[in-house]
Chain A
């Protein structure tokens, strides 16, 4: 038992390799923030496309719904592998420019950008659904009241519906962000040296898994406060709801 404890909680080992794991975690943070930001934007675009009114936009809606369903139903790992393989192959064949197929923008390596793309494609689909549920949670009468005052659909969305929906979507979006951050670990399979990969490298060199433990600590330092923040937000909204705000 003590042996097991020492294997995972070798504090001397952790102190010795602290900087390496921290550097890996820094990559995790960067990837989460960039991927999270793009997912937020892409999700918003998808949800707007999905809710375009009228018969003219029906094909746009179908394509968008098809995309969202597909990406929510495919393992992220598959998206990561498929995307990086496809882009790299096309770039090396010269079908697409090298700067796009093997991106190395802003001093980051190509696995980082493949990771951003894969996270955005998948989490954009998740977040689109969050936005939609937030907009649908605003009572129908709000849109009717806005339209009856002569506001256009766009104005009604902008001044009446979206400001109310935003409050409702903050907790589920934060939840998605926590999930996204944990899923960045998957990008290690295409060679990105982030928290988990650093732990893995340390293990294969020293056969001590304490690098993993240190990585886990780093994750928890960020994810636990975020989860508490979500709980607090939800509680605040429930209290408001009890006071009668729709």
Chain B
């Protein structure tokens, strides 16, 4: 495997008595595209949110490019981590009081310290890449869910992250809008970017990923090449889950 970008060791997280993540160990390599699948409540979203500290883990270690960003129950270099790791949410979370362009520009100017003009031209370029060249000045309430999600992707990309995290980004979309968003993610995978994608789209996972991770009840149950995990799973729990979702 290529150089490790993210390394996760013994990650644990619980909400009160509910243990959501019990012992997660995982390494993600440079340029790797990893899809995380599993039933709801399996902890996959929580794991993703732990990776940029939107949830604080209870125990374990997280390293980004060999630098510890979480360990001994404490975060280190949180700002560095968040600058290097981009995140796209299920519910888009665009800033409703800003146009598409402003949404993409705001963190560039405030966090990266870019000049307003430079940030805006980068925003326009990125919005063009996600197929929204004509929507740069629209506000989120004038955009469809799929368009909003593509703005959100552009917004995260504008920070030039080393890793992008996608948290069920098509789950809130109408079926006909899903493809446009998945195509954008596929385009990113083709550029060699490191992606961690929590998804329910099995066909997409098979097509795009280098590795599929199956999670259940707070553990990584099985992982491997998409054709193996999705086509010929070795664990009974994986088989059962795939039987349920693929039977649709």
A68 to chain B, nearest CB (A): 28
Query: Chain A residues near B94 (CB, 8 Å)?
Result: 145
Q: Which of B91, B107, B140, B141 contacts A149 (CB 8 A)?
A: B107
For B87, the closest partner residue in chain A by CB is A148
Main secondary structure of the interface of A (DSSP, over half): helix
- Check if A133 is an interface residue, CB within 8 A of chain B: no
Task: Determine which residue in A145, A152, A155, A243 has the highest number of CB atoms from chain B within 10 A of its CB, and name it.
Answer: A145
Contact across chains for A148 and B82 when beta carbons are under 8 A apart: yes
Q: Which of A152, A159, A164 contacts B79 (CB 8 A)?
A: A152
For A152, the closest partner residue in chain B by CB is B79
Which bracket fits the contact residues of A? 20 to 34
Contact across chains for A148 and B52 when beta carbons are under 8 A apart: yes
Task: Determine which residue in A149, A164, A167, A243 has the highest number of CB atoms from chain B within 10 A of its CB, and name it.
Answer: A149
Contact across chains for B97 and A163 when beta carbons are under 8 A apart: yes
B67 to chain A, nearest CB (A): 16
- Check if B89 is an interface residue, CB within 8 A of chain A: yes
| Contacts of B153-175 to chain A: CB distance below 8 A | 155-156, 159
Contact across chains for B141 and A243 when beta carbons are under 8 A apart: yes
| Bound: A159/B97 CA distance, A | 10
- Check if B54 is an interface residue, CB within 8 A of chain A: yes
Query: Chain B residues near A83 (CB, 8 Å)?
Result: none
Contact across chains for A150 and B159 when beta carbons are under 8 A apart: yes
B135-162 interface mask toward A, CB cutoff 8 Å, 1 = contact, 0 = none?
0000011000000000010011001000
Given A141-B89, A159-B110, CB of A149 within 8 Å of CB of B95: no
| Contacts of A118-159 to chain B: CB distance below 8 A | 139, 141-142, 144-152, 155, 159
For A163, the closest partner residue in chain B by CB is B97
Q: Which of B93, B107, B152 contacts A151 (CB 8 A)?
A: B107
Query: Chain A residues near B16 (CB, 8 Å)?
Result: none
Contact across chains for A149 and B79 when beta carbons are under 8 A apart: no
| Contacts of A151-192 to chain B: CB distance below 8 A | 151-152, 155, 159-160, 163-164, 167
Query: Chain A residues near B107 (CB, 8 Å)?
Result: 146, 149-151
| Contacts of B103-133 to chain A: CB distance below 8 A | 106-107, 110-112
- Check if A246 is an interface residue, CB within 8 A of chain B: yes
Query: Chain A residues near B186 (CB, 8 Å)?
Result: none
B228 to chain A, nearest CB (A): 32
Contact across chains for B111 and A246 when beta carbons are under 8 A apart: no
Query: Chain A residues near B87 (CB, 8 Å)?
Result: 145, 148
Q: Which of A151, A164, A167 contacts B111 (CB 8 A)?
A: A151
B162 to chain A, nearest CB (A): 13
Q: Which residues of A contact B (CB under 8 A)?
A: 139, 141-142, 144-152, 155, 159-160, 163-164, 167, 240, 243-246
Known pairs A145-B93, A245-B140 / 14 extra A-B pairs, C-beta < 8 Å: A142-B95, A145-B87, A145-B152, A148-B85, A149-B155, A150-B82, A151-B110, A152-B79, A159-B106, A159-B110, A160-B95, A167-B97, A243-B141, A244-B141
Nearest 7 A/B pairs, CB to CB:
A145-B93, A149-B107, A141-B93, A150-B83, A148-B87, A150-B111, A150-B82
